[in-house]
Structure 1
Amino acid sequence: MTLINVRNLGITLGAPLFSKLNLSIANGDRLGIVAANGRGKSTLLRCLNGDLEPTTGDITRIRGLRVGHVEQVVPHKLMGVAFYEAVRLALPADQIDSESWRVDIVLDSLNVPEELRQRALSKLSGGWQRLAMLARIWVTEPDVLLLDEPTNHLDLSKINQLERWINDLPRDVPLVICSHDRAFLDATTNRTLFLRPENSQIFSLPYSPARQALDEIDASEARRFQRDMKVAQQLRQQAAKLNNIAINSGSDLLTVKTKQLKQRAERLEDAARPAHQERSSGAIKLANSGTHAKVLVTLDEAAVSTPDGMLLFNSGKRWICQGDRIVLLGLNGAGKSRLVDMIRKSIIDPATSQVGVKATPSLVLGYGDQALSDLSDSSTPFNTISRRFDIGDQRVRTLLAGAGLGIDIQNKPNSILSGGQKARLGMLVLRLSNPNFYLLDEPTNHLDIDGQEALENELMAHEASCLVVSHDRSFVRAIGNRFWLIEKRRLIEVESPEEFFASFAKTA
């Protein structure tokens, strides 16, 4: 049964986000919405929830439909509230006392530990805050669930837990999910909407097969457009020849024929539509300055410990060589970020090299952490680049614009940038550093799918040597050619990440 029907929907905010969108949401639908950053995904969810009136078109819902919308941002007023209480307060006022047992059921279904339930949301990780917002909506028993970037801030364990929770929901409860996590979309959806300013495409397929089908349609439309333009050009050439003959001979028949050929060409040109070209959120480009050294980093029984001295694991004897794209795998708290930091410090200041870690002197480091802490909130995109790199003001502005940071925001504080814009600024800093070795901690955080694919292509095309920590399964599978796993206080090498990924799915 159709619960929500969308007809000719359009939203224009300065420029069209999408138009003439037709969509139905029925029982059993698990719809993934895919678009670049800032292209209307969250806006569409707000329309479906009734929070925003569309520019054109209309949305009809069956009478009495309860829509649950899980937004990305935790309301400030809830940050000081305990996890349990924040969920309980989502119940209707007349049910808060009598129906609070439902809170326990929801929190149990999300495997929320007892010790976290009385902790203020401000004291919890971003991942637990996301799950608290989901619990607040689910406890109200909605008929339709709208999830906006639900995997943001979640580690791999919680992502798998969320996948299991979604797939265990009653099959008649429809979900609409906006996400940049390709593996998550494949695991949780059965339909995919590619949201575009014009001619949005929808497929009754999960993301990966839907993306393949979309690429085939775009390629077919590109061939058709080129063919039509070629035919139109040939018609105009024929018309020009006939016109010359008609002028010389004075033939009215040839004049009419010339006019007909021109009209056919015009009709073809008017009807032809170029294939969709996705407007980039900003280019991502990397560099590889290269080095003659074969071994870049040597780990020789390096002990990775907590700040209070507790041993997390021992590295054994390991080498990072030129051309290696090593993905570091392990549970949260296993010591991945600590190993990355030890290597970073040894490269930056060899004189204070960490015990058991040796970096070749020719290394030029490109480092990016998941918090983008290298980008000061009080600085601006322009100052971030101009004060680090002596390349001239005009070049700075050109590079920033190419990275998706237009002239209108280049002199505004970094604090106002979206996550995607900040990530692209960070990537530009990496590129201009011209490194020959990358240390990347969750580099796909905040990047849309186009950005993730661009980063993958750059790492591969430049044969960049890198050590990467990532929870993004699609990214890991695409770029890794070696895999290190922290397990039982040891660092071991494994053939692939699949067994590690599967272990979460079994225990989620």
Structure 2
Amino acid sequence: MALIHLRALGVTLSEPLFSDLDLTVAAGDRLGLVAANGRGKSTLLRCIAGAVEPTAGTVVRARGLRIAHVEQDVPPALHDLTVQAAVRRALPAEQAAAETWRVDVALDALEIPEPLRVRPLRALSGGWQRLAMLACAWVTDPGLLLLDEPNNHLDLARLARLEAFLNGLPRDVAVVLASHDRAFLDATTARTLFLRPQASETFPLPYGRAQAALAGIDAAQAREYQRDLKTAQQLRRQAAKLHNIGVNSGSDLLTVKTRQLRQRADRLEEAARPAHRERSAGTIRLAGRDTHAKVLVGFDDARVETPDGTLLFRTGRLTIGLGDRVVLLGRNGAGKSRLVSLVRQAVAEPGPATAAVRATPSLVLGHSDQALSELRAEETPHGLVCRRFEVGDQRARALLAGAGIAVDRQGRAIATLSGGQRARLAMLVLRLTRPSFYLLDEPTNHLDIEGQEALEAELKAQGATALLVSHDRSFVRAVGNRFWLIENRRLVEVESPEAFFAAEAAT
């Protein structure tokens, strides 16, 4: 049974986000929505929910359909409510008085621990807030779930919990979700919509196979485009010859024929243009520097501790050599970010506290953490680049534009940028730093799939040396060539991340 019909749907802001979109969502559908940052995913979900009016086209909803929409941020009105109170508030009016048991059912379905249920939402981590908002949606007994980046801020254990929840939904409930996590899309969806300004494409396949199919279509279209351009160029050359003959002979017939050939060339070129005209959200490029050191960082059984001195784990005697891309694995709270901080301190401010961590003296550090703390919120992108690097005004503006920071945003505070723009700015800072060693904590946070794949390609092409922390399974598999696991208060090397991923999924 069809729940949603989109007919010639389009939204245009300063330029089209999407247009002429025809789509049907049926009962039981699991549809993944894929597009670059800022390219209309959230807007499309709001159109389906009825919160935004499209510029063109219509949205037809099945009679009586109940839609639950989980957006990326917690509504301010819920910040001070406990999880239980927020879910209770979401209950439909006819159930609020007599069916409060539904609250516990929704919370149990998402395995939200009892102690967290009585805490205010603002006191929870971002991952638990996401699951609480999903519980608020699920308690309404929807026929269609609209999820905007539902996996944001989730560690692997909670991500596995979310995947299990979605895959265990009743067969008649439809889900449309937007995500940049390729492994998550493959695990939870069976159809994929690639949202584009023009000629969006839908495939009855999960993301990985759909992406391969789309690449084939785009490649064929590119070849056809080149053939049609050659034909148009031939028509223009014929028109030029006829024009010269016509001018010399004074023939009106040849003048008309020249005009017709040019018009044919114009029509052919216009029709041949790639229909989607994909726009990049900004280029990610890295630039490392050479080093003669064979070992860049070494650990002499260093203690990794909490701020109050409690031991989390010991590193043993391990080294990171030239070209090693070491991925640090471990559950949330195991101490991954603490180790990253320890290495950073050993490079920037070596002293007694970091004596067990050795960094080669020539090491140049490129660091980015999940909070993007290297970027000062009140500073402007233009001011940051000019202050930290020896580039002039015009060069700074060109670099920022290439990274996806439009000219009108380069002079605004970094705090006003979107998450994707800030992530690309952080990557630009890394490029201009030209590090010999990368220390990256959740570098794919806020990056769209295009950005993730570009970062992966750059790290591998540069032969980068790095210590990485990431919950992005696709990124870990693509980039890592060594894997260290925190277990039983020790840091041990493992052959692959797959056993850890499987254990987290089974937790």
Q: Report TM bin, short chain.
A: over 0.9
1:321 maps to 321
Structure 2 residue 374 is the aligned partner of structure 1 residue 348: no
C-alpha displacement of 1:380: 1.6
* CA displacement 1:366-401 (0-9 Å, x = unmatched): 111101112121222122222222322222222112
Structure 2 residue 406 is the aligned partner of structure 1 residue 406: yes
C-alpha displacement of 1:351: 3.6
Trace 1:218-257 onto structure 2 (pairs within 5 A).
Answer: 218-238=218-238
* CA displacement 1:326-383 (0-9 Å, x = unmatched): 1100111111111111111111123446132111101010111101112121222122
Q: Would you say the 8 A contact 1:149–1:178 is kept in 2?
A: yes
Q: Would you say the 8 A contact 1:146–1:175 is kept in 2?
A: yes
Q: Which moved more, 1:495-504 or 1:16-25?
A: 495-504
1:153 maps to 153
C-alpha displacement of 1:424: 1.3
1:490 maps to 490
Change (3 A) 1:469 1:260: same
Structure 2 residue 386 is the aligned partner of structure 1 residue 380: no
C-alpha displacement of 1:505: 2.2
C-alpha displacement of 1:37: 0.9
Q: Would you say the 8 A contact 2:183–2:474 is kept in 1?
A: yes
The 1-side partners of 2:300 and 2:173 are apart by: 54
1:139 maps to 139
* CA displacement 1:170-191 (0-9 Å, x = unmatched): 1221100011111100000011
Trace 1:32-431 onto structure 2 (pairs within 5 A).
Answer: 32-238=32-238, 265-274=265-274, 276-352=276-352, 354-431=354-431
Q: Would you say the 8 A contact 2:403–2:428 is kept in 1?
A: yes
Q: Which moved more, 1:334-343 or 1:406-415?
A: 406-415
* CA displacement 1:456-494 (0-9 Å, x = unmatched): 111111111100000001111111111111112211111
The 2-side partners of 1:197 and 1:257 are apart by: 36
Q: Which moved more, 1:366-375 or 1:406-415?
A: 406-415
2:449 maps to 449
Give the letter for the 2:327 counterpart: V
The 2-side partners of 1:367 and 1:482 are apart by: 19
The 1-side partners of 2:255 and 2:396 are apart by: 57
C-alpha displacement of 1:411: 1.7
The 2-side partners of 1:280 and 1:243 are apart by: 40
The 1-side partners of 2:120 and 2:257 are apart by: 80
Task: Give the share of equivalent positions with the same residue, in percent.
Answer: 65
Q: Would you say the 8 A contact 2:156–2:505 is kept in 1?
A: no
Tell me how many residue pairs correspond in the alignment. 507
Give the letter for the 1:22 counterpart: D
Give the letter for the 1:230 counterpart: K
Q: Would you say the 8 A contact 2:403–2:425 is kept in 1?
A: yes
Question: What SS does the corresponding residue of 2:354 show, helix, strand or coil?
Answer: coil
The 2-side partners of 1:275 and 1:17 are apart by: 14
Change (3 A) 1:121 1:250: closer
Q: Would you say the 8 A contact 1:346–1:352 is kept in 2?
A: no
Change (3 A) 1:386 1:58: same
* CA displacement 1:279-313 (0-9 Å, x = unmatched): 11122121211211000011111121222332221
The 2-side partners of 1:336 and 1:238 are apart by: 67
Question: What SS does the corresponding residue of 1:170 show, helix, strand or coil?
Answer: coil
Question: What SS does the corresponding residue of 1:187 show, helix, strand or coil?
Answer: helix
Question: What SS does the corresponding residue of 1:387 show, helix, strand or coil?
Answer: helix
C-alpha displacement of 1:252: 10
Q: Structure 1 unaligned segments of length 5 or more: list them.
A: none
Question: What SS does the corresponding residue of 1:5 show, helix, strand or coil?
Answer: strand
Q: Which moved more, 1:124-133 or 1:232-241?
A: 232-241
Question: What SS does the corresponding residue of 1:415 show, helix, strand or coil?
Answer: helix
Q: Would you say the 8 A contact 2:147–2:178 is kept in 1?
A: yes
1:433 maps to 433
TM-score by length of structure 1 reads 0.95
The 2-side partners of 1:171 and 1:250 are apart by: 75
The 2-side partners of 1:56 and 1:482 are apart by: 51
* CA displacement 1:67-113 (0-9 Å, x = unmatched): 11001110112111111111111112342231110111111111111
* CA displacement 1:248-283 (0-9 Å, x = unmatched): 899999999877765654543343223644211122
Question: What SS does the corresponding residue of 2:486 show, helix, strand or coil?
Answer: strand
Change (3 A) 1:502 1:248: same
* CA displacement 1:228-255 (0-9 Å, x = unmatched): 1112223443555567778889999999
TM-score by length of structure 2 reads 0.95
Q: Considering only aligned residues, what root-mean-square deviation do their CA atoms show, in Å?
A: 2.0
Q: Would you say the 8 A contact 2:180–2:449 is kept in 1?
A: yes
